[in-house]
Structure 1
Amino acid sequence: MTITTTVRLTAAIDVPESFVDEYVDVYKHLHAHPELSGQEFETAAYIETRLSALGIDSFRCGVTGVVAVLKNGDGPVVGFRADTDGLPIAEETGLDYSSVATGTQRDGTTVPLMHGCGHDTHVAAALALAALLVERRELWRGTLVLIFQPGEETAYGARAMVSDGLWDRAPKPEVVLAQHVLPAVKGKLLIRSGHMATLADSWMVTVQGRQAHGSQPEKSIDPIVAAAAMVLRLQTIVSRELAPSTSAVITVGTFHAGLKENIIPATAEFSINVRTPNEDARAAVLAAIRRIISAEAAASAAPEPTITEINTFPRCYNDPEATRRVIERFTTDFGAEALTDAPLGMASEDAGLLSDAIGVPGVYWAFGTFDPQFFDGGALPAGNHSPFFAPEARSAVVVGTGAALSGVLAFLGRD
């Protein structure tokens, strides 16, 4: 007699151990083969192959985005987003499926690649979700639009898919769901109503000056001095122009100028990353940044600097009523003790654009996959974007798939 062991995904749904093993292998494959934002060609092809093997048709959207539509009779339409891109990080986890891949950035630079934010877990869970819904049609009714979205790390992907006619080519959903792995306890779900992430904006600032010999500063307009004054003054926006209760961050991440110590250069360039909690704070901070950059340039008798937008992240807002439905389902499936009222962090996310673009609710949550020992007086696990970030593979599949299934069934479940 053959005994089939099972794994519990939710309080009412078990799957064979072999199912989990299959999607652990999927996860490990994805982890070992990351690609840069906007270059997810092999990832997209792999997703299409997996979907085709399940008998699910799909189409490309936004070049490297993949969309699949699962129908099971009459009922609501729900969208579910999984992001697909990796990061330019040299992996140091020591895992036997670590990435040794490299990629080429837009400037031609070759960089190491890693799924350092866990998007591999998101794709594996979404593919497992698709397989479950194909096999267990008695659980649900309606239509699920699966969105495998590229370019989340650069705020490129959601906008690219919407611009490429996503909601003209796929059924318009009543709600769009998304999830993200975090360095939290295995099985923990983090969700709240309202803003789930901050708005984010990145700019490149080019300060123009006048080149001269280092011994003749009077013949120059020194762009380094002007840019340095801007960098210092920008830090006063949060401390002196916003209320202490308003969380915001202004970071200057790069600063480049000159080629030789005895030449005052003609230009200086620096990049700014801004995180704000809401649209009003965003408008106030960005206006203050422009004002300071312009004023400091004028104080140095320099021309007006050039500001180039690198990227801008939309809001990620959880609709209260839709979020209530998801929380109720999570509570039924995992118990109230599994849920945490997620604090508003300073991370950013572009999933909200998929729902905001068509004026429907969105719900976004996070899940943990790490052993509790990390949080019991031991060293905390490495976080997202770290070269040591390593969600436990089996937990990533079980928790990620279980949360995805529960969230979807909050709207499509027959019960």
Structure 2
Amino acid sequence: MKLLPLAALLFVHAAQAQDASAVSSQINGMYPKLDAIYKDLHAHPEIAFQEERTAAKLAAEMRAIGFEVTEKVGKTGVVAIYKNGAGPTVLVRTELDGLPMEEKSGYPYASKAHALLDGKDTMVAHSCGHDVHMTAWLGAARTLVALKSQWQGTLMFIGQPAEETVSGAKAMLDDGLFKRFPKPDYAFALHSWPLAYGTIGYNSGPVSSNSDAIEITFKGRGGHGSAPDKALDPIAIAARFVVDVQTVISREKDPKEFGVVTIGAINGGTVGNIIPDTVRVRGTIRSYSPEVRAKLLAGVRRVANASAAMADAPAPDVALIAGGAAIDNSDALVKRTEGVLKKAFGDANVARMPAMTASEDFSAYVNEGVPGMFFFTGVYDPKAVAEAAKPGGKPIAFNHSPYYAPVPEPSIKTAAEAMTLAVMNVMGAAGAKP
């Protein structure tokens, strides 16, 4: 193994420190503008594939920075390209969509937005932090252009729709993302997380779970609630399924392996004295490994059919809908990136963390053969995080909670700086590929 002389190592460390200082200075200087953008995005969330206003705002901002922008990729997606000489192409992804839920953060700029979802009115909120991600994405883009003398290559910043429905990445790829635009050499994405602001979490290998949706319609024969013998009760069949399907987890899956089957919605019937014809059951399956994923999918289908057969009912309609695959971070890219992040934020603030049980469709880009790194940035006051970790301590709101309330300035600054440094680190002064 060839070792660098001490002088060369000191030069590298000094250069990294200088880069971090320059990046931090740029982001601090632009923060008032970023803060205004963040509050506007937070107050005007839009749900999956309806992100028209959000996409237009990001597109306008990126054009003003100097990117070549293409809109409506994958319906509402944005692709922004900035060429700066020979070197690698680096994809940086942000999500555009909010969630169909009411916000209860108490912020003066809290969302009061509404949308139509399946024909019904719903409130909309950025309760997963995508507004933080978008703002940091813009901050990173501005900083990289301002410091373009320190790197070479092509930036490919994408604003992806419909992450919450785990369908936006596929929509962009199906619309020719890697055919109409350069296929990247690396891909980065980040996610806000209920960690202390100023901290970063990451891992090699799997960092999220496989996601598959369950949609089952159990069929019966409607009738009067006082005469169940004259009917065939699909509610009883569905109830048996909801209980029995958990044995797939407790009795079939290796207990050392992660796997979850959750039934989150049961819909059937209108009033208490009428047995309905059908009951619809919806849920989610989560796993890390392909083997566990296959076992759970097969088990859910088998238990659904068996539950109906036990009641001598027609076979149910079983739809198991593939969602996002687990994100598999590149070991080489993680090793290449963690050093520069630790140099900037300190070893104690940049740490490996277990894979999340939630799912993310950033994996769609990685599975196209692009080395990727997905990491997490904290959003809460360190004192609040420490208190929540104590027995009986006050809990902090998790992503998707109506009370999820990132502290904007330190959260956005950390995310923007971390992403900028990660990108500069792989593009380098010469833009050389490893």
TM above 0.5, yes or no, is yes
**Kept in 1: contact 2:327–2:366 (CA 8 A):** no
Shift of 1:265: 1.3
Q: 2:302 aligns with which of 291, 294, 297?
A: 291
Distance in 1 (CA, whole Å) between partners of 2:267 and 2:64 is 50
Q: Shift of residue 220 of structure 1?
A: 1.8
Report deviation, 1:309: 4.3
What's the counterpart of residue 74 of structure 1? Answer: 86
Q: Does 1:208 align with 2:191?
A: no
8 A contact 1:155–1:311 mirrored in 2: no
Cross-structure match for 2:109: 97
Alignment counterpart, residue 325 of structure 1, candidates 330, 336, 340? 336
Q: Kindly tell me: are residues 392 and 139 of structure 1, through their superposed partners in 2, closer, same or farther at Cα, counting changes over 3 Å?
A: same
For 1:343 and 1:188, how far apart are their aligned partners in 2?
15
How far apart in 1 are the matches of 2:334 and 2:355?
15
Q: Shift in Å at residue 125 of structure 1?
A: 0.8
Alignment deviations for residues 77-134 of structure 1 (CA, whole Å, 9 cap, x no partner)? 11111111000121111112111111110x2111111100000111111111111122
Partner of 1:86: 98
Contact 1:184 1:368 in 2 (8 A): yes
Equivalent residue, structure 1, for 2:193: 182
Quote the offset at 1:17 in angstroms. 3.9
1:407 corresponds in structure 2 to 422
1:65 is aligned, of 61, 71, 77, to 77
Q: Deviations over 1:117-157 (max 9, x none)?
A: 00011111111111112221112111111011010000110
2:376 is aligned with 1:366: yes
| Residue 381 of structure 1, aligned match among 380, 385, 396 | 396
How has the CA–CA distance of structure 1 residues 108 and 414 changed in structure 2, closer, same or farther, with 3 Å as cutoff?
Answer: same
| Aligned residues of 1:11 and 1:332 also touching (Cα < 8 A) | no
Match of 1:19 among 20, 26, 30: 30
Q: Secondary structure at the match of 1:10?
A: helix
Counterparts in 2 of 1:295-310, with a 5 A limit? 295-309=306-320
The unaligned stretches of length 5 or more in structure 2 are: 1-17, 389-393
Q: Distance in 2 between matches of 1:90 and 1:109?
A: 14
Q: After the TM superposition, which of the residue ranges 311-320 and 372-381 deviates more from structure 2?
A: 372-381
1:283 alignment partner, SS class:
helix
Task: Give me the whole-angstrom Cα distance separating, in 2, the residues matched to 1:249 and 1:309.
Answer: 14
Shift, 1:331, TM fit = 1.9
- In 2: Cα distance, 1:51 partner to 1:345 partner: 31
TM-score by length of 1: 0.94
**Aligned-CA RMSD value:** 1.6
TM-score by length of 2: 0.90
Cα drift, residue 39 of structure 1: 0.6
Is residue 12–residue 333 contact of structure 1 (8 Å, CA) maintained in 2?
no
Structure 2 counterpart of 1:148: 159
Task: Tell me by how many angstroms 1:12 deviates.
Answer: 4.9
Letter in 2 for 1:398: K
Q: Is the 8 A contact 2:129 2:192 kept in 1?
A: yes
Q: Distance in 1 between matches of 2:401 and 2:213?
A: 20
Between Structure 1 and Structure 2, how many residues are aligned? 406
Report how far residue 24 of structure 1 moved: 1.2
Aligned to 1:171: 182
Paired letter, 1:98:
A
The letter for the 2-side match of 1:365 is F
Relative to structure 1, is the Cα distance of residues 366 and 56 closer, same or farther in structure 2, using a 3 angstrom cutoff? same
Greater CA deviation, 293-302 or 378-387? 378-387
Aligned-residue sequence identity (percent) comes to 36
CA offset digits 1:375-406 (Å, max 9, x no partner):
23253431111111111111122111011101
Please report how far the alpha carbon of residue 11 of structure 1 lies from its aligned counterpart in structure 2 after TM superposition. 4.4
> Any conservation in 2 of the 1:116–1:389 contact (CA below 8 Å)?
yes
Q: 1:137 aligns with which of 143, 148, 165?
A: 148
Instruction: Say yes or no: does 1:41 pair with 2:52.
Output: yes
Aligned pairs for 1:235-254 within 5 A? 235-254=246-265
Q: 1:201 Cα deviation (Å)?
A: 1.0
Distance in 2 between residues matched to 1:400 and 1:16, nearest whole Å: 10
Q: 1:217 deviation in Å?
A: 2.2
Query: Which piece of structure 1 moves more, 310-319 or 28-37?
Result: 310-319
What is the Cα deviation at residue 9 of structure 1? 9.1
